[in-house]
Amino acid sequence: MAWEVAVAAFAAMVGAGFVSGREVFVFFAMHGATGTLLALGATLLLALGTWRTAQTAPAVPLVAPLWRTLLAAFSFITLSAVLAAIASLLHSRMGLPSAVGAATAALLAALVQQHGTTSLRRWQGLMLVLVVVTVLLTAALGLVKLQPGVLTVAVSPLQAVLAVFGYAAYNIALASDGVRRSALGQGVPGRRGAFAGGLAAGLLLTLEAAVLARGGTAIAGADLPLRELALHLHDLLGAGVEVAIALASLSAAASFLQGSAALFGGTWTTTGLAFLLSTLGVQAIVDRAYPVMAAIALLWMLALLWPSALAGRHGPNRQGR
């Protein structure tokens, strides 16, 4: 197995939005136990989708110009949500006004994107370990110690499809560039690595959805529900989640800024516009924009089927020969 491909797939999915808990709550946990089952369905699609992305890596650039623009737009919206999440964390921890926190986060993201990406990558391993450990500990303690919360949001068939297919689709889309770059030339081991990375991310997603569902209405209105739940369980665990959110958010913000800068003509213009959007707040952005992104990204599932035909004519076939 190509471990670098597995790590690329896993890292692209387990980031700032994941460890904040908000997107997991919106797509899955708000539906209680049913949401946990939906997360299991998304897990399978994440694994298959990253595997398919690695399989079609040589051909996708031939058909991707429009999709690159969509990905840049997704990156911009996600960047704004990340800035809003950092602002919420700074407000909760230090009392900073949300606008000041978002502006600080935007400035740091721009500086890191321009000057510190190499150094930041050295910290990504620590960030991933911290995210995994804090999510696992919160899930383990929460599932044991918490009484099930009361959640009354039933899931409609459309919501179920959007949760499973939409969540998987936009996460696979955002992960696609990193997975492709890592998978090129890796052959079958690279595809196995991509599958393993997507599967691992999905299983961690399912655990987080289960414990957030158990938190119920007590965390439903929180900007950072996983943090609120962790603080309820233990102050030290809450502090660990806060550090994980901070590291993951800075890493993600720099990455998404890089991915969307061309859309608006440069780093600083994109940073300023993302700051303005972030002032809407993390709940408004995630709760409203992410489902729309998920619906659009369902096209990605179809796009994954297209490059195989091109691969046979212009590049490696399905066996990678």
List pLDDT tens digits, range 62-76.
445 677 788 889 889
Average pLDDT estimate for 269-290: 93
Give pLDDT tens digits for 26-48: 899 988 888 999 999 999 999 99
85 is a domain residue:
yes
The pLDDT value recorded for residue 321 is 32
Confidence at residue 184, expressed as pLDDT on a 0 to 100 scale: 77
Q: Band of the pLDDT at 303, cuts 50, 70, 90?
A: low
Global pTM reads 0.84
39 touches 199 (CB < 8 A):
no
Mean pLDDT of the chain: 83
Q: What is the pLDDT of residue 311?
A: 46
Q: Please indicate, yes or no, if residue 103 is contained in any of the structural domains.
A: yes
d(CA 44, CA 40): 7
- From 3-17, 25-39, 74-88, the region with the lowest mean pLDDT: 3-17
Give the chain's domain count.
Answer: 1
Q: Tell me, what's the pLDDT at 120?
A: 60
The average pLDDT across 290-303 equals 79
Residue 124 lies in a domain: yes
Would residue 320 count as lying in a domain?
A: no
> What does the alpha-carbon distance between residue 69 and residue 294 come to, in Å, rounded to a whole number?
16
pLDDT at 238: 92
At 206-231, the pLDDT tens digits run 999 999 998 887 888 889 999 999 99
pLDDT category, 181, cuts 50, 70, 90?
confident
3-state helix, strand, coil in the chain (%, to 5): 85, 0, 15
> For a pLDDT cut of 70, what percent of the chain falls above it?
86
The CATH number of whichever domain residue 79 belongs to comes to 1.20.1740.10
Classify the C-alpha dihedral 81-211-200-19 as positive or negative.
Answer: positive
- Residue 166's domain comprises 3-314
In a domain, 321, yes or no: no
Confidence band for 12, pLDDT divided at 50, 70 and 90:
confident
| Residue 104, in any domain of the structure | yes
Q: What six digits make up the tokens of 43?
A: 């897990």
- The DSSP-derived string for 226-255 is HHHHHHHH-HHHHHHHHHHHHHHHHHHHHH
Q: How confident is the model at residue 5 (pLDDT cuts 50, 70, 90)?
A: confident
Q: Indicate whether 11 pLDDT > 90.
A: no
Local structure of 73: helix, strand or coil: helix
> How high is the pLDDT of residue 121?
59
Q: Count how many residues are written for the chain.
A: 321
At 300, is the pLDDT very low, low, confident or very high (cuts 50, 70, 90)? low
